[in-house]
C-alpha cells in the first residue's frame, strides 16, 4: 500500500472515530432529554428501525442478557416509551414496540440534525451518496459484528 493510501486510510479511521464519538454524545444528550439511559435509548432505536421484536430478539440485537432486557423493557414501559402486545403467531410470546405517542413526542428533537444532514447530502451526486451509503452499511455491519464478538451473542 502506498504511503498516500495509508495516510488516507488512517485519516478515514480517525474521522470515523470522531463521528462515532460525536454520535455517542448526541445520543447520550438525546437520551437525557427523554429521561432514558443511553442503552434504553438505543434499544428504543432498534425497535423504531426494525419494528416490534420479541424480548429474545431484542436481547440478540442489543447484545444483552435476556434477564437484562426484561428489566429494561419493564422500565421503558413504565416510562411510556414502549408497550407489549401479543405476538400474532404465537400466544406464548409478546412483542415489544415503540409507543406511537412517544415517537411523536421525541420527533422534534431530531429536526436540526436531519435538516443539516439533508443539506450536506444536497452537495453530493447520487453516485457519491451511493458510495457513502455503501461504506456506512459495511461500517455498521463491522461495528455490529465487533459488538457480537465482545458480548459473545449473535443477532440473526
137 lies in some domain: no
Whether pLDDT at 155 is above 80: no
Please check whether residue 55 is in contact with residue 94, taking contact to mean a CB–CB distance below 8 angstroms: yes
Number of structural domains, the chain? Answer: 1
Residue range 70-88: average pLDDT? 95
**Averaged pLDDT, 116-140:** 97
Provide mean pLDDT across the span 79-88.
94
The answer to whether residue 144 is domain-embedded is no
pLDDT of the residue at 60: 87
Per-residue pLDDT reduced to its tens digit, 18-53: 999 999 999 999 999 999 998 999 899 999 999 999
Show contacts of 52-58: CB within 8 Å, 24+ apart: 52/85, 52/95, 52/96, 52/97, 53/95, 53/96, 54/87, 54/93, 54/94, 54/95, 54/96, 55/94, 55/96, 57/155, 58/96
For residue 146 the three cell numbers come to: 465487533
CATH of the domain at 55: 1.10.10.10
pLDDT higher than 70, residue 103? yes
Kindly calculate the radius of gyration of the chain based on its CA atoms and give it in whole angstroms: 18
At 136 the pLDDT is 96
In-domain check, residue 14: yes
Q: How far apart (Å, rounded) are the C-alpha atoms in residues 156 and 60?
A: 8
Is there a domain that residue 147 lies in? no
Residue 149: inside a domain = no
Q: Is residue 140 part of a domain?
A: no
Residue predicted with more confidence, 46 or 1: 46
Partners of 83 in beta bridges: 97
Amino acid at each position: 500500500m502506498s504511503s498516500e493510501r495509508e495516510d488516507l486510510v488512517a485519516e478515514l479511521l480517525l474521522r470515523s472515530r470522531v463521528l462515532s464519538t460525536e454520535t455517542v454524545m448526541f445520543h447520550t444528550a438525546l437520551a437525557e432529554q427523554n429521561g432514558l439511559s443511553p442503552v434504553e435509548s438505543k434499544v428504543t432505536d432498534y425497535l423504531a428501525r426494525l419494528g416490534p421484536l420479541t424480548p429474545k430478539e431484542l436481547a440478540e440485537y442489543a447484545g444483552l442478557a435476556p434477564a437484562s432486557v426484561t428489566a429494561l423493557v419493564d422500565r421503558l414501559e413504565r416510562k411510556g416509551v414502549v408497550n407489549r402486545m401479543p405476538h400474532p403467531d404465537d400466544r406464548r410470546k409478546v412483542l415489544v414496540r415503540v409507543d406511537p405517542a412517544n415517537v411523536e413526542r421525541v420527533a422534534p428533537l431530531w429536526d436540526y440534525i436531519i435538516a443539516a444532514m439533508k443539506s450536506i447530502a444536497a452537495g453530493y451526486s447520487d453516485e457519491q451518496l451511493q458510495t457513502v451509503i455503501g461504506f456506512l452499511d459495511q461500517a455498521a455491519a463491522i461495528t455490529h459484528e465487533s459488538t457480537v464478538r465482545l458480548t459473545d451473542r449473535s443477532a440473526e
